[in-house]
């Protein structure tokens, strides 16, 4: 049986990535559908904002999460009053940080999938009497299934490896908010190379498996 200092970060990382990906999956599909179908002023500006977490340093994202959702912010203070606890330094903070950094991968991949669907097929479904909801659910989405699955896997891998924003917003509390990346950092910093190697190998194995599946889906 794995020691708790190894098992807990692995377990928490998988839980955090899984829950964050649920949010990212639905929000990514909905927003990608909207952005591919609707034209409006400021669309490029909005898309830039959606993709920004992909290029921003994770520490910047962590800083912004603290500013907008920390206990001193309006939203943060409301959450604290509602749940009698700040969202910072909780597993939900880790989930939120992972969701923010992984969202652009899901959004961009799914959007590319939607754009690759032949519009003639969608129009044919409309001619046969299908409304926009049915066209999306029974034509566009199935034809974009590979893109959705690829985005899901890549986003999960990104969420699993999130470090900077998680460290700033959720902290590195053993058996509470310590994920694999932060546990590796602490193990390395304290000279515990055995623990560090076990965690590093676990991340390499999990990430490699996900990339292999993503490449298999693409082919």
- Digit-coded pLDDT (tens) for 76-111: 889 888 888 889 999 999 999 999 999 999 999 999
Nearest partner of 163 among 14, 64, 59, 75, judged by Cα = 59
Both tokens of residue 166?
A: 């998680």
How far, in Å, CA of 42 to CA of 183, rounded? Answer: 41
Buried b (16+ CB within 10 A) or exposed e, 138-154: ebbbebbeebbbbbbbb
**Domain 4-218 CATH superfamily:** MetI-like (1.10.3720.10)
Amino acid 6: pLDDT: 87
- pLDDT per position in the chain (219 positions), as tens? 457 788 999 999 999 999 999 999 999 999 999 999 888 898 999 999 999 999 999 999 999 999 999 888 999 889 888 888 889 999 999 999 999 999 999 999 999 999 999 889 998 988 888 888 999 999 999 999 999 999 999 999 999 999 999 999 999 998 899 999 999 999 998 888 989 999 999 999 998 888 888 788 766
**pLDDT (0 to 100) of residue 16:** 95
Q: Which of 65, 54, 177 is nearest to 111 (CA)?
A: 54
- pLDDT at position 185 is 92
Contact assessment for residue 176 and residue 91, using Cβ atoms and an 8 Å cutoff: yes
Element (H, E) at 11: helix 4-37
Domain ranges of the chain: 4-218
């Amino acid at each position: 049986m794995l020691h708790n200092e190894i098992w807990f970060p692995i377990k928490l990382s998988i839980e955090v990535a899984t829950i964050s990906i649920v949010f990212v999956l639905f929000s990514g599909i909905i927003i990608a559908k909207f952005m591919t179908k609707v034209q409006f002023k400021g669309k490029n500006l909005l898309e830039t904002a959606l993709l920004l977490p992909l290029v921003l340093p994770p520490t910047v994202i962590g800083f912004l999460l603290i500013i907008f959702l920390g206990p001193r912010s309006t939203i943060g203070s409301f959450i604290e009053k509602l749940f009698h606890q700040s969202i910072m330094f909780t597993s939900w903070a880790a989930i939120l940080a992972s969701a923010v950094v992984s969202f652009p991968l899901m959004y961009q991949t799914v959007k590319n999938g939607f754009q690759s669907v032949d519009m003639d097929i969608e129009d044919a479904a409309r001619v046969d009497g299908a409304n926009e909801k049915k066209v999306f659910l029974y034509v566009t989405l199935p034809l974009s299934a590979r893109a959705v699955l690829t985005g899901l896997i890549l986003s999960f891998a990104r969420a699993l490896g999130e470090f900077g924003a998680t460290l700033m917003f959720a902290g590195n509390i053993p058996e509470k908010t310590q994920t694999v990346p932060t546990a590796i950092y602490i193990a390395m910093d304290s000279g515990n190379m055995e623990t560090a190697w076990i965690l590093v190998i676990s991340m390499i194995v999990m990430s490699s498996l996900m990339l292999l599946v993503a490449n298999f889906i693409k082919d």
